Every structure is written in C-alpha cells, then in structure tokens.
Amino acid sequence: MTTMNATLEELKRSLDEKDSQIKDLLKTNDKSIRQLSDELRALHEDTDAKQLRYQESREDYEQRVRDLRDETKSLRDQLNKEIVWKRKYDDSVKKGELNTNQLMETQYQIQSLENELKAKNTVIDTKDKELRKISSNYKILREQCQQMDKQTEQFKNKYVGLGVVKEKLIADKDSTLTEVQKLSK
C-alpha cells in the first residue's frame, strides 16, 4: 500500500514537473512571438517611413525637373530669339548698320545663356542619378521586407512544431493520469 502511495506520489510529481515544463515552454514561446512581432512591426514602420521619404523626395525631384525643363524651355526660346536677332544683327553688320561692339555684346550674352543651359543640364543629370540611387535603395528595402516575411513564416512553422511537442507532453500527462487511475483502483 505504501509502495502504491509512493508510486502515486511519484507520478503526481512527474505530472507536476511536466505541467511546469509545458507552462515554461508556453511562456517562452509567447515572449519570442511578441518579440518577433514587435521587431517585424518596427521593420514595417521603418520601411513605410523610408518609402514615404522616398516618395516625397521623388515628388520634389520631379517638380524640380519640371521647373528646370520650363526654365530650360524659356531659356531656349530666349536663345532662339537671340539667335534670330544675331542673324539679323550679322546682316546689319554686313550692311554696315551696326558696329562691332554690339555684336560682341550679343555674342557674350549668347555664350552666357549657353553656359547657363549647360549648367542646368548638368543639374538635371545629377538629379537623374539621385533618382536612380533612390530607386535602387527602394528595391533593396523591398527585398529586405520580403526576407523578413520569409523569416516570419519560418518562425510560424517552428512555432507549429513546438505545438506538436506540447501536444505530446499533454498526451504523456493524460497517459500518466490514466495509469494513476488504474493503479488507484
């Protein structure tokens, strides 16, 4: 009888230990899930912020490009007018109507306008390079998000595996309870 009581006590202790193990495992899993969820949420927020900054930068850049194009068009129109005027001026010089100083001044203005146009084209090229770089960074961020999604899926699969271990421990507990009940009868 005392042997049976000792066996029952031992089985109860074993059940309590398994119960404790299951609870510890569940706490650990819950903490890990919360931590990974927080990390994933933070990564998504960071990615959203970067995408927003990228979009704002892109819109600013596109507006600057439009402004520069308008300014360039205006300068080209002005340059074309200057060219037309220069032709007329050349004709007048040939006819002796204008002096050499006026011609030099017009040529200087044309050269200044051409230099300004070249400088603005350089700015446009620089902005194009920046846009390509931003686009590349966006692709990298998108790939990082996809990688984090894959890692989250792997963690979910791992967590399902831990659920199987939990079910096995519960089955062991039930089996032990059945044995205790048989022995107590």
Per residue in 10-56, pLDDT (tens digit) is: 888 888 888 888 888 888 888 888 898 899 899 999 998 999 999 99
How many domains does the chain contain in total? 1
For residue 125, pLDDT over 60 is answered with yes
**When comparing pLDDT for 129 and 99, which is higher?**
129
**HSE-up of residue 90 (Cα within 13 Å, Cβ side):** 6
Cα–Cα distances in Å, from 185 out to 68, 109, 164?
Answer: 94, 113, 32
DSSP category for residue 1: -
Range of the domain at 6: 2-184
**Residue 69: what pLDDT?**
93
CATH number of the domain enclosing 35: 1.10.287.2610
DSSP string, 84-114: HHHHHHHHHHHTT-S-HHHHHHHHHHHHHHH
**HSE-up of residue 180 (Cα within 13 Å, Cβ side):** 17
pLDDT bracket for residue 185 (50, 70, 90): low
For residue 122, pLDDT over 80 is answered with yes
**Residue 59: what pLDDT?**
92
Instruction: Give the tens place of pLDDT for each residue, 48-95.
Output: 899 999 999 889 999 999 999 999 999 999 989 989 998 887 787 677
